[in-house]
Structure 1
Amino acid sequence: MADPLPTGEPAIRITAMPADANPAGDIFGGWLMAQMDMAAGIVAARRAKGRAATIAVEGMTFHHPVHVGDEVSVYAHLTKAGRTSMTIDVETWRRARTGEDRQKVTQAKFFFVAIDDERKPRPLPQTD
């Protein structure tokens, strides 16, 4: 059974390049994780209205490989906000460069904390 397609716009969309791959042409998992961290960081910085730092990642499992030339779309959604911390659900999807079919590659929960100029936790701003 196929995963339901993601909703909303991706936080990041990028083409997987040869420098991001192993000799077999599969994209490194670490590269995918870095893209996911950047996407989650965009969401965290918006909610924090400033700096935020990754403090943990939970539940990353790779379902399908990503190949050189694939379009990689990373979706990130804030699911919980505490006093200083945020939980962001992230999904990564691939689409072959010349195709229309999309596959979910991986997903994970990213945990961030809002930080001040001294890199110390600070309260999240109140939402309107």
Structure 2
Amino acid sequence: MSQDRLSAATQLPTDKELVLKVIPMPADTNGNGDIFGGWVMAQVDLAGSVLPARLIQGRMATVAVNEFIFKQPVRVGDLLSFFSSVTRLGNTSITVQVEVYAEHIRAQGQHVKVTEARLTYVAIDDQGRPRPIAPAQLPA
């Protein structure tokens, strides 16, 4: 692991839920050998949808990427851990915070935050229109 990544090593969050783990492969790289930002964004969208899916219990759509910050490059073979928490519950929408940590294959046990994002998902009906999230579906 490079010195800059070692100096950024951190603890994994305990106040968020681990919702996804994935290892990027060579086919996911750009011309510099780093993982495409768009690939990371797609994985964040999947990870971000896990907690809302539990509450919405039906169709939903990503309606906003409120914030997306790439902090460090992601490399082939990094074990990425995606942690999420609900930050806002609305009548039809749910906003989540997603943090992504990389564990380099040769520095196991050391994690560095590589990405963080805030996304909003909306519950939709069969015609694709926003629908209320039933109060019974919301946590007490």
CA distance in 1, matches of 2:11, 2:81: 15
SS of the residue 1:42 aligns to: helix
The offset of 1:2, in angstroms, is 5.7
- 1:40 and 2:42 aligned: no
Runs of 4 or more, structure 1, over 3 Å off, are: 1-4
CA distance in 2, matches of 1:9, 1:120: 29
**Gaps in structure 2 of 5+ consecutive residues:** 1-7
Alignment correspondent of 2:72: 64
1:25 to 18, 27, 33: 33
Is the Cα contact below 8 Å between 2:62 and 2:121 reproduced in 1? yes
The offset of 1:69, in angstroms, is 0.5
SS of the residue 2:31 aligns to: coil
Overall identity of the aligned pairs, in %: 44
More helix by share: 2
Is the Cα contact below 8 Å between 1:81 and 1:87 reproduced in 2? yes
Is the Cα contact below 8 Å between 1:70 and 1:97 reproduced in 2? yes
The offset of 1:60, in angstroms, is 1.1
The offset of 1:98, in angstroms, is 2.8
Alignment correspondent of 1:5: 12
Q: CA RMSD in A?
A: 1.6
SS of the residue 1:10 aligns to: strand
TM superposition score normalised by structure 2: 0.84
The offset of 1:90, in angstroms, is 0.6
**Gaps in structure 1 of 5+ consecutive residues:** none
1:1-47, CA deviations, whole angstroms, 9 ceiling, x for partnerless residues? 76552125421100110011113321011111100000111211111
Number of residue pairs aligned between Structure 1 and Structure 2: 128
TM superposition score normalised by structure 1: 0.91
2:24 to 8, 16, 24: 16
